[in-house]
Structure 1
Amino acid sequence: MPTGTTRAKMTVLRPGMLTTVQDWPGRVGYWKVGVPPSGPMDDLSFRLGNVALGNPEGAPGLESAMAGPALSFDADTWVCVTGADARVRVDGVDVAQWRPVLVPADTTLDVGTTTGAGLRVYVLIQGAIDVEPYLGSASTFTLGKFGGHRGGTLCERDILEISTPKDAAERITCIPSEHRPALTTRWSIAVTEGPHGAPEFFTRADMDTLFATDYEVHFNSDRTGVRLIGPKPEWARTDGGEAGLHPSNIHDNAYSVGALDFTGDTPILLGPDGPSLGGFVCPVTVVAAERWKLGQLKAGDTIRFVPVRAAHAAPLGALGVARRAALPFVFSSGGDGDDGVLARREAETCVTYRRSGDDNVLVEYGDMKLDLALRARAHALHQRIEAISPKGLLDLTPGIRSLQVKVDPDVLSIDTVMGLLAEVEDDLPAASELVVPSRTVRMPLSWDDPSTREAIARYMHGVRADAPWCPWNIEFIRRMNGLDSIADVFDTVFAADYMVLGLGDVYLGAPVATPLDPRHRLVTTKYNPARTWTPENAVGIGGAYLCIYGMEGPGGYQFVGRTTQVWNHRYPEQSGPFERESPWLLRFFDRISWYPVEPEELMDLRADTAAGRGGGVEIVDGKFSLAEHEQFLASNSSSIEKFRASQAVAFDAERTAWSAAGEFTTRGNSDAAA
């Protein structure tokens, strides 16, 4: 315990709803492996409460949704309750929010249900809630079952420790009313254009509609994302090509928190527990200083997106009026008028620099196609920027043909980033020179596993029974690729070596990988609407990519089976094939291959991994040379083109069948997504 501090215990008498420990800015620096930042969804209310208590802005506190907790302390303790309006009592006496209140020892702080506008309430406690940091943060990520108090929501009779500086009472202050966030049920939210807008992905009419529509907040919303109800886009493309049959599909790239993600025709505002990597387009992104509003949106509220210029966005580091906290509405500055494209560079390999909020630049290489040379180029850029590591750089997250550069714009401006990227691009080596470490990772696969059949059944019962991929995803994969039998799908999957091009799709080290041999690249489209449940470590195909789901959650890839864990839930303890230094199993450019196991055998292997034993994974070190790979492609070009031509015929036939069935015109933003 630090010198000059006292220690107390806090007991949970009533947990409230979805009450978790969070800190700010959360778990930063792990976006590239699918670990979200978490942290308070309304960071403004959270940070203001800490300031009132004399705490560091980011000190751990409690977040609840709709109903707060009842707590007792074994020593006198100062608290501050912020966020949505709720009845707050100390020992049965009503007290005010937004100002520090002394809770005497052995009395009860009772935070009731929220009333009126807003959804989340925050309880900040002077000093620090002592929980063991996980990957550098106290924030709880409940889906990943880590961080905070035992990795989940608080329960009745939980006891948490608090350490408080002895002079803490001297530092308390009140939060001026004009600094407090003004809550409403009719929101306007400032957004910047990009990364993927008109005219490439959406029509101009789509963008006009987006800015003129009052979207309604769907009840099926949470910390991963806020689902919205609104008009279906017209779309500028007929499909996503190799990335999938739906025009929302793209080759996987990094997302920004606050991006408006169209998963099929369904718009979702990505939250602080959302995915880091995915294959859907995002036409606009909420500016960093306005993302607190996502935490206060509740079912039935309406949202109007207001385009603003990135340079006019308020700084995230500011509190109070500088973030327009007292104004629930936003004045438009007309947007940047560049469709979210910061610059284009014409060269042997063209480069597109896209805006993703006011704190991210998405660097895309080449055309919209799967080409390992483009991934190699992004890797070279990644290594060079990481080596420079300018102050203010927060995350570098590679995608299939892209690299997202996330910065603190208060420290490192986007203009400075663009200058750095241009300078580095001039000096990058040719992609053909790439030689990287590339391990062979042999893993068990339970083909057509019962858990995936259960997920399909749930989808048909609760979401959509008439989807073209139902009732059996593997049959859909066969049809999409023009294969003669299910056995052909089996043989193709087990013959392939899948190269890991990205991590974190979806979450916790989950790989997005593609076969090195194009003749093994099965192409499918993703679920629309998405599944609401996917078993942990299910294996699926979406577009031309394979994914292993890092944890339970929603999803859209077409199932082929299930494998063993790719995330060490025992971390920081050593476990089976996992390295001691990190909880994720796979690395960029690993090559995954499969061997078949029965479902019962897989359950035994999963139990072994969970217990810290082997788990049936075999790893052999090696290297990958792009030049050698391109020689392989050249020597097999005839049979590769024959395979692609046959595949294209089947793809077009499926698209024609979808069109005839009204799939592209009748599948709007359905409530069935819940």
Structure 2
Amino acid sequence: MSLTKMTVVRPGMLTTVQDWPGRVGYWKVGVPPSGPMDDLSFRLGNVALGNPEGAPGLESAMSGPSLTFDADTYVCVTGADARVQIDGTDAPQWRPVLVPAGAVLDIGPTSGAGLRVYVTIQGIIEVDEYLGSAATFTLGKFGGHRGGTLAGGDILEITGNTDAARIRSIPMEHRPVLTSTWDIAVTEGPHGAPEFFTRDDIDTLYSTRYEVHFNSDRTGVRLIGPKPEWARADGGEAGLHPSNIHDNAYSVGALDFTGDTPILLGPDGPSLGGFVCPVTVVAAERWKLGQLKPGDTIRFVPVKAAHAAALGALGLERRASLPVVFSSGGDGDDGVIARRDGDTAVTYRRSGDDNVLVEYGDMTLDLALRARAHALHQRIETIAPRGLMDLTPGIRSLQVKVDPDVLPITTLMGLLAEIEDDLPAASELVVPSRTVRMPLSWDDPSTREAIARYMHGVRSDAPWCPWNIEFIRRMNGLDTVADVFDTVFAADYMVLGLGDVYLGAPVATPLDPRHRLVTTKYNPARTWTPENAVGIGGAYLCIYGMEGPGGYQFVGRTTQVWNHRYPEQSGAFEKESPWLLRFFDRISWYPVEPEELMDLRADTAAGRGGGVDITDGEFSLAEHDKFLAANHESIEKFRGVQSVAFDAERTAWSAAGEFTKKEAGDAAA
């Protein structure tokens, strides 16, 4: 087997190494699949070269790279239209071409429709796998080549022999049609009308041509369109805005309403969050997200899930060569596949054609519902049916992702019904539950900086500005901000989900309801949040796993919850995984000064302790229920004060027109 060296002469724009299907199986801890945003163009390029269809290749946005090879090498350039030249001579796209040793392969800016261009190379690009994949997740700084975009002078090795006998053409009818006015097939759900949106909202969604906003990337495609009327006044204990719900798993391709802003979640998007998604792009159509560019328009076309094209197909069955989506309508069930009555009601929601979101009980924070979801999670994990891809728990839910070509949704629904019949009572739950004591720099300077950036660049008149902690005090009817401090440091926060904002980030709630501070989330969200900032949104606390957007109200900052040295061990992290926390861990805080926190963070980054103490233990739901019963009177008194303050804040928002404001970004557009 030969070894070829590829040198990057010019990196192009946002050029990364990707493979398909990416990093599968880690959605539950906030690790996205990554991989090519347009899987179809990428896979067709590999097939044309005789490679495995998921072999590592290059993805660029807006402008491709310039490359040389030290041996004759076949390449195939696919995706958006771009000028391809070999030593100044034009070469075709969508067809394998031979690049002689030392010649310069140059892919220029994209022109016309589409945004992303792909370069596949005969052989295998040799990069270290991270959690089983070569795909680059730039926000997490792992995968691909050094965890980021390529740079001029980078040298990558390619193994495999140049073999003209393996190459083949890509039939014209198999190539995806690129346009600037897109039809995209979606299924109803998981959260539609009439529970969350009005019927008019859904009619408007299907009749509107949404415009692609310039502030879009691999995490999500932001859209410009009409503001929903909403079917609810607010999200209850999940937040003041009607888009707020108790955190649950998302699907790639979900249309996520973060406040009033619709965002199509991409392959680098979050796995867990607390916003409603009325429709989800079917798996075979998600390639289109990778080719949407600012100014393009989208029409969402509802289809029946059973009639969606197969993701595994690369030919005519994929229907990518058709510029429109033909459909007689969706499933007509508002995204609810089935409901089941009983002591604990169950709702089975559709989230695309490859996910079922199993929700327990009413839209409330109840640890018994989380226990039920945990029991279901364990049972499915034990059975491990063929075609199961991922299991991701939320606060009162479990998302089951499958390959529908292997495990059809109808078969999955039968399995879920059988399991539900046999689940134990939630009150019997006893689980390992470690005590995790962590440092917290209260009102940390980095969070103050994030608020200042938000006020300067996003919104200066938000009710939670200029100080989130004062907003939390007001929302909960506390007398002073010192009471907020005392409440946070007195609480034991139970981890109910991981990956709320990527990379093992916990969504946790106080076990004692008297410590359960309730806030609403930023609307619109922040564009920057410091790594490991600590915030509260709804009734939940989160530690941000990395820098990025965010919406929780800040209380401070802590040390790392993701081991960036992995697979090397660091401090309190376990050797087997890069995430610090487990489901049902109990987090408690001790105060440190900002300078002390910086020292602890440096220790963790260097592989030393980091100030985190972990003690083994267990949690019994029955014992917790006894605690709640014994303290019922004082708990209800606290909730009463909190409810009055919550209603007062909502009234103030209504009087100020907060619920009817258009976002600045939309107004400008």
**Where on the TM-score scale, by shorter chain, does this alignment land: which range?**
over 0.9
Matches of 1:248 and 1:425, distance apart in 2:
29
Matches of 1:306 and 1:669, distance apart in 2:
28
Tell me the percent identity.
87
| Residues 1:196 and 2:180 aligned together | no
AA partner of residue 97 (structure 2): V
| Residues 1:282 and 2:283 aligned together | no
Matches of 1:217 and 1:332, distance apart in 2:
23
C-alpha displacement at 1:313, in angstroms? 0.1
Matches of 2:484 and 2:11, distance apart in 1:
49
Contact 2:184–2:285 (CA<8 Å) still a contact in 1? Answer: yes
What are the equivalent positions in structure 2 for 1:516-595 lying under 5 Å apart? 516-595=511-590
C-alpha displacement at 1:72, in angstroms? 0.2
| Residues 1:410 and 2:410 aligned together | no
Task: Give 2:321's match in structure 1, choosing from 297, 311, 326.
Answer: 326
| Residues 1:143 and 2:139 aligned together | yes
The superposition leaves residues 179-201 of structure 1 with CA deviations (integer Å, 9 ceiling, x where unpaired) of 10000000010000000000000
Matches of 2:2 and 2:40, distance apart in 1:
28
Matches of 1:664 and 1:89, distance apart in 2:
53
Matches of 1:655 and 1:86, distance apart in 2:
52
Contact 2:524–2:663 (CA<8 Å) still a contact in 1? Answer: no
C-alpha displacement at 1:327, in angstroms? 1.4
Matches of 1:553 and 1:438, distance apart in 2:
29
Q: Secondary structure at the match of 1:390?
A: coil
Contact 1:530–1:673 (CA<8 Å) still a contact in 2? Answer: no
Matched with 1:670 is 665
The superposition leaves residues 73-108 of structure 1 with CA deviations (integer Å, 9 ceiling, x where unpaired) of 000000000000000001110000000000000110
Task: Give 1:87's match in structure 2, choosing from 83, 89, 94.
Answer: 83
Matched with 1:13 is 9
Contact 1:362–1:405 (CA<8 Å) still a contact in 2? Answer: yes
C-alpha displacement at 1:328, in angstroms? 2.5
Matched with 2:263 is 268
| Residues 1:372 and 2:367 aligned together | yes
Task: Give 1:228's match in structure 2, choosing from 192, 200, 223.
Answer: 223
Matches of 2:648 and 2:326, distance apart in 1:
48
Matches of 1:95 and 1:324, distance apart in 2:
27
C-alpha displacement at 1:232, in angstroms? 0.2
| Residues 1:491 and 2:491 aligned together | no
Contact 2:337–2:349 (CA<8 Å) still a contact in 1? Answer: yes
Aligned length: 669
C-alpha displacement at 1:322, in angstroms? 1.1
| Residues 1:121 and 2:143 aligned together | no
Task: Give 2:391's match in structure 1, choosing from 392, 396, 406.
Answer: 396
Normalization by structure 2: what TM-score?
0.99
AA partner of residue 222 (structure 1): D
C-alpha displacement at 1:110, in angstroms? 0.1
C-alpha displacement at 1:396, in angstroms? 0.3
Q: CA RMSD in A?
A: 0.9
Contact 1:9–1:160 (CA<8 Å) still a contact in 2? Answer: yes
Q: Secondary structure at the match of 1:37?
A: coil
Matched with 2:25 is 29
C-alpha displacement at 1:292, in angstroms? 0.1
Q: Secondary structure at the match of 2:2?
A: strand
Task: Give 2:103's match in structure 1, choosing from 97, 100, 107.
Answer: 107
C-alpha displacement at 1:285, in angstroms? 0.1
Task: Give 1:38's match in structure 2, choosing from 31, 34, 37.
Answer: 34
Unpaired segments of 5 or more residues in structure 2?
Answer: none
Contact 1:464–1:672 (CA<8 Å) still a contact in 2? Answer: no
Q: Secondary structure at the match of 2:637?
A: helix
Matches of 1:521 and 1:556, distance apart in 2:
18
Task: Give 1:360's match in structure 2, choosing from 341, 349, 355.
Answer: 355
C-alpha displacement at 1:324, in angstroms? 1.1
AA partner of residue 61 (structure 1): G
Matches of 2:206 and 2:119, distance apart in 1:
35
Matched with 2:47 is 51
AA partner of residue 176 (structure 1): P
C-alpha displacement at 1:309, in angstroms? 0.2
AA partner of residue 253 (structure 1): N
| Residues 1:341 and 2:336 aligned together | yes
Matched with 2:244 is 249
| Residues 1:464 and 2:466 aligned together | no
The superposition leaves residues 376-422 of structure 1 with CA deviations (integer Å, 9 ceiling, x where unpaired) of 00000000000000000000000000000000000000001100000
| Residues 1:175 and 2:173 aligned together | no
Matches of 1:114 and 1:474, distance apart in 2:
46
Matches of 2:197 and 2:80, distance apart in 1:
36
AA partner of residue 476 (structure 2): N
Matched with 1:427 is 422
Matched with 2:67 is 71
Contact 1:483–1:489 (CA<8 Å) still a contact in 2? Answer: yes
C-alpha displacement at 1:169, in angstroms? 2.2
Matches of 2:500 and 2:554, distance apart in 1:
14
Matches of 2:616 and 2:470, distance apart in 1:
35
AA partner of residue 105 (structure 1): A
AA partner of residue 19 (structure 1): T
Matches of 2:428 and 2:413, distance apart in 1:
25
Matches of 2:665 and 2:59, distance apart in 1:
30
AA partner of residue 67 (structure 1): S
AA partner of residue 656 (structure 1): T
C-alpha displacement at 1:670, in angstroms? 3.5
C-alpha displacement at 1:669, in angstroms? 7.5
Matches of 2:304 and 2:395, distance apart in 1:
29
Matched with 1:133 is 129
C-alpha displacement at 1:27, in angstroms? 0.1
AA partner of residue 523 (structure 2): N
Q: Secondary structure at the match of 1:525?
A: coil
Q: Secondary structure at the match of 2:521?
A: coil
Matched with 1:474 is 469
Contact 1:232–1:668 (CA<8 Å) still a contact in 2? Answer: no
C-alpha displacement at 1:325, in angstroms? 1.4
* C-alpha spacing 1:51/1:316, structure 2 compared with 1 (3 Å): same
Matches of 1:328 and 1:298, distance apart in 2:
16
Matches of 1:182 and 1:171, distance apart in 2:
26
Matched with 1:306 is 301
Q: Which moved more, 1:608-617 or 1:323-332?
A: 323-332
C-alpha displacement at 1:164, in angstroms? 1.3
Task: Give 1:164's match in structure 2, choosing from 160, 168, 171.
Answer: 160
AA partner of residue 32 (structure 1): K
Matches of 1:596 and 1:252, distance apart in 2:
28
Matches of 1:673 and 1:370, distance apart in 2:
38
Matched with 2:628 is 633
| Residues 1:212 and 2:207 aligned together | yes
Matches of 2:447 and 2:498, distance apart in 1:
22
Unpaired segments of 5 or more residues in structure 1?
Answer: none
Normalization by structure 1: what TM-score?
0.99
What are the equivalent positions in structure 2 for 1:595-614 lying under 5 Å apart? 595-614=590-609
C-alpha displacement at 1:156, in angstroms? 0.4
Contact 1:266–1:669 (CA<8 Å) still a contact in 2? Answer: no
Matches of 2:182 and 2:254, distance apart in 1:
16
Contact 1:144–1:551 (CA<8 Å) still a contact in 2? Answer: yes
AA partner of residue 454 (structure 1): E
